[in-house]
Structure 1
Amino acid sequence: MEEDRYGLPLSTASAEAAAAYREGIDLLLAFWPGATAAFERAIMLDPDFALAHAARARIHAIYLQREAALQTIARARDLVAKRGTAREQSHVAALVLAIEGRGTDALASTLTHLASWPRDAMIMALPLGAFGLLAFSGRADHDAARRDLCDSFASAYGEDWWFMSNHGWALTEAGELAKGRKITERSFALRRHNAYAVHALLHAMFEAGAPDEADALVEGWIGDYDRTGMLHGHICWHQALGALDRGDADKALAIYADVLRPAMDTAPPLNTLSDCASLLWRLMADAQPIPPDAWTEVATYAQNRFAGSTLPFAEMHLVMIAAAMHDGPALKGRLAAMERRLAEGKLAAGRIVPHMLRALRAFADGNWRGCARELTPVMGDLARLGGSHAQREVIEDTWILALIRSGATEKARAVLDARLHRRPSARDMRWRALTVG
C-alpha cells in the first residue's frame, strides 16, 4: 500500500496519485504555491482517492470558498466510507467538522484522532497557528495550549521541518523566545522553501524588537517566493510593521500599495482583510496619511467575503473599516449582533468583543476617553480574539494612544515602559516621549 511522507497508509492503487498527494501536502504545509495543482492531479489520476479530495476541500476552506469546500469534503466523506482505513475515515471526519465551522467539535475530534495517529500532519495542523482551532477557540491560554500540544508530540516528529516550524512559533508566542527561535531556525535550515518557517522567524524577531533583522530576512529570501504564495502578502506586512517602528511611513505605504491592497494580493481573504485593515488603522491612529479611497477599497473587498462573519478576529478588522469610514449603520448592526451572541452564550471570546467594537468606534470619532474606558477593563482578554501577538497589538496600540490623548499619560507611560522592557521599539520610545513634560 502507498504511504504518505509520515509513513501512514494511503488508500490508492496509483503510485502517481500518491506521489502527487505527498507533493501537495508538503507544499500546503510549507504554504508554498502548487498545492492545489498537486491535489487536483492526484484526483485526476485516482478520482476515488478520498484524502486528495479532503486536502482540496481544505484549500477551498482556507480561501473562504464555502460551497466548494462543503461539496468537496462531502465527496471525500462518501469515498472514504467505501474505501478508506480507520485513520483515513477519522482524518476526513475531523476535516468535515473544521470546514463546517464547528470549531469545538473539530478540536475534540482532532485531539482524539492525534492520540491514535500522532503523525497525521494535516490533522495536526488544524489546532496550530494564529488562525487554527486553538487560536479561534476563545481561550485566553491558547498560546500556551499550542506550545504544550507541540511539546507533547515533538518526539513523534523528531527533526521534521514542518513540525519544527510550528513548534518553534508556538514556543515564541508562549514567551519562550530563545528556544522557539532556535527550533524555527533549524526548521528553516532543513527547508528554505518554507514560508511558514520564515513567518515564524519574523514573529520571533518581532517579539525581540529586531525590525532591521526582520527586514533583512525578507529582502534576502522573498525573491524565491511567488506572489501567489499564501503568506507572500503577510510576510510583506511584517516588513511594513518594521517600517512603522522605524518611523518610515512612506515605506509602509509603498509595501501596502505594491503588495497588500486587495487589488494586488492573492492571499486567503482573512489574511488580506486583517493585513490591510490593521495597517491602515495603524497609519490612521498615528496620524499618518493613507491613500485616497483606501478604506473604501478594503470595505468593498470585505463586503461579500465576510457578509455573515461572526469570528471575533474578523469582526475586529471589519469594525476598523466601518469606524474609519464612520459607517454608523454598519457599526450599530455589528455591535448589536455581537452583544446578542454574547447574551446567548455563543461568543467564545466573551465580553472583550463588544468592548473592543465600541472602543474602535470611539477612537475613530476622536473620543479618546471613551475608547480608553472601553478597553481598560478588557485588555487582559486580548488573546481571546485569536491571531498572533503582532496582530493583536493593534488594539493595545489604540489603547495607548487613547490614554495619551485623553491625558492619562501616567498610565500610558507605565504600559509603554512594560512593553519596552519586553522588547525595544523606536515607535514606543516616540510615544513614551509624549507622556513626559
Structure 2
Amino acid sequence: MALSSKKHHREESLLELERKAWQDAGLVLSTTSNEACKLFDAALTQYATWANNESLGGIEGCLSKLKAADPNFTMGHVIANGLELIGTGSSVRLNKELDSAMRTMMTLSKSQPLTEREKLHVSALDMFASGQLPKACDLWEQILQSHPTDLLALKFSQDTYFYLGYHIQMRDSVARVYPFWTHDIPLSSYVKGYYSFGLMETNFFDRAEELAREALAINQTDAWSVHTIAHVNEMKAEVKKGLEFMKETETNWKNIDMLACHNYWHWALYFIEKGEYEAALTIYDNHIAPRCLSSGSMLDVVDNCSMLYRLHLE
C-alpha cells in the first residue's frame, strides 16, 4: 500500500510539473489540466517555429486534443481561434463556425476567474475578429509590457503588424522584449529571427543578416531566419550569393512545412532576376505547386499565384 501510495504521489507531482513551469515563467494558465498545458505548449511551439510536428498530430491535432483535455480552458480557445483568424484570414462574418467559436470563447472568459494577461488575450482577439487590427496589436503590446516572454502575444502581434504593413512597429515590438529573451529560455533563438526580419524590413540589412546568422548558428532549421537572409540578398541585389545560400541550406529548411514553399518562392525569384525562367519554373513545378495543392495554406496559395503572375509578366 505504501509503495502504491508513493507511486500515486509521484505521478501527481509529475502532473503538476507542466502547469508549474508556466507559473514559474510568470505566465499562469487558468486550467487544472496539466495535459491541456502541455498541448498548449506544443501548439504554440509549432506556430512559433513554422513547423507542424506530425508525431504530435500537427497543430490541428494538438488543438483538438487540447479542447478535449479541458473544454473550458480559455487560453486553449484563444490559441485555436487566433490561429484560425491570423492563419487563414477568415472572417467571423463569413465563417459561421469561427463566429460560434469566438462567442464560446467570450462567454467562457466571462464565466471564470482569469488573470489580467488572459483577459487581454481574449480582448485582443475580439478586436481582431471585428476588424480592428491596430487595436488588437495595442492590447498584445500591453501584455508584452508586463510579460515580455509571452510568446503568443509576440507572435500574434508580429503576424498582424506584417499584415498591416507596419514594419517599424514589427521591428520595435521585438526590440523592446529582446533583452528579456535570454539564451536559457526555450525558443529564444527564434525571437532573434523575428527581430532580424523586422530589421531587414526597415532597411538595416547588415544587422538583420548578422542576427539571422546568429539564430541559424543555434538552430539550422530556423526557416524564418533563412527567409530574412533571402530577403537581404534580394534587397542588396546579391543574386549569386542568394542562389548559393538557398542551395547550401535547402536540406535544413525544406521540411519546415509552413515556410518551405515561401523559401522556394524566394529561390525562384533569384532565377527570374537572372532571366533564367526555366529554372524558376522548375522550382515552381517541383516545389511550389505541389505544396500549394497539398497544404491549402493561404500563404502557399499566395506564393503560387504570385510566382505564376511574375512569370506571366516576364
Answer whether TM exceeds 0.5 for this pair.
yes
> What's 1:56 paired with?
80
Q: Tell me how far 1:253 sits from its aligned partner.
A: 1.1
Contact 1:168 1:200 (8 Å CA) reproduced: yes
CA distance in 2: counterparts of 1:210 and 1:36, whole angstroms: 39
Tell me which of 27, 30, 33 is aligned to 1:8.
27
Alignment of 1:160-179 (within 5 A): 160-179=188-207
Change (3 A) 1:76 1:209: same
CA distance in 1: counterparts of 2:278 and 2:45, whole angstroms: 37
> What's 1:274 paired with?
302
Contact 1:11 1:85 (8 Å CA) reproduced: yes
1:125 and 2:139 equivalent?
no
1:155 and 2:179 equivalent?
yes
CA distance in 1: counterparts of 2:21 and 2:28, whole angstroms: 4
CA distance in 1: counterparts of 2:100 and 2:222, whole angstroms: 30
Q: Tell me how far 1:168 sits from its aligned partner.
A: 0.7
Q: Tell me how far 1:176 sits from its aligned partner.
A: 1.1
Which amino acid counterpart does residue 226 of structure 2 have in structure 1?
V
Contact 2:220 2:252 (8 Å CA) reproduced: no
Tell me which of 127, 144, 147 is aligned to 1:114.
144
Contact 1:2 1:13 (8 Å CA) reproduced: no
> What's 2:161 paired with?
134
Which amino acid counterpart does residue 71 of structure 2 have in structure 1?
P
Contact 1:3 1:10 (8 Å CA) reproduced: no
> What's 2:46 paired with?
27
Deviations 1:127-153 (A, max 9, x none): 32xxx3334446xxx323322332222
Deviations 1:149-179 (A, max 9, x none): 3222222223412211110111111111111
Which amino acid counterpart does residue 15 of structure 1 have in structure 2?
N
Tell me which of 238, 243, 247 is aligned to 2:271.
243
Deviations 1:290-343 (A, max 9, x none): xxxxxxxxxxxxxxxxxxxxxxxxxxxxxxxxxxxxxxxxxxxxxxxxxxxxxx
Which amino acid counterpart does residue 41 of structure 1 have in structure 2?
K
If the length of structure 2 is used for normalisation, what is the TM-score? 0.78
Give the root-mean-square deviation of aligned CA atoms: 2.6
Contact 2:140 2:153 (8 Å CA) reproduced: yes
1:189 and 2:220 equivalent?
no
Contact 1:94 1:123 (8 Å CA) reproduced: no
Q: Tell me how far 1:238 sits from its aligned partner.
A: 0.5
If the length of structure 1 is used for normalisation, what is the TM-score? 0.58
The structure richer in helix per residue is: 2
> What's 2:101 paired with?
72
Alignment of 1:328-347 (within 5 A): none
Counterpart secondary structure, 1:175: coil
Deviations 1:17-70 (A, max 9, x none): 211211211110111112222222222222222212211122222124442433
Counterpart secondary structure, 1:84: coil
Identity of aligned residues (%): 20
Which amino acid counterpart does residue 86 of structure 1 have in structure 2?
E
Which amino acid counterpart does residue 145 of structure 1 have in structure 2?
Q
CA distance in 2: counterparts of 1:195 and 1:96, whole angstroms: 30
> What's 2:168 paired with?
144
Gaps of 5+ in 1: 287-437
Contact 2:221 2:256 (8 Å CA) reproduced: no
Deviations 1:372-403 (A, max 9, x none): xxxxxxxxxxxxxxxxxxxxxxxxxxxxxxxx
Tell me which of 111, 115, 122 is aligned to 1:85.
115
> What's 1:367 paired with?
none
Q: Tell me how far 1:234 sits from its aligned partner.
A: 0.9
CA distance in 2: counterparts of 1:228 and 1:191, whole angstroms: 12
Gaps of 5+ in 2: 1-18, 53-57
Contact 1:6 1:120 (8 Å CA) reproduced: no
Larger Rg: 1
Change (3 A) 1:53 1:143: same
Change (3 A) 1:71 1:120: farther
Segments of 4+ moved more than 6 angstroms: none
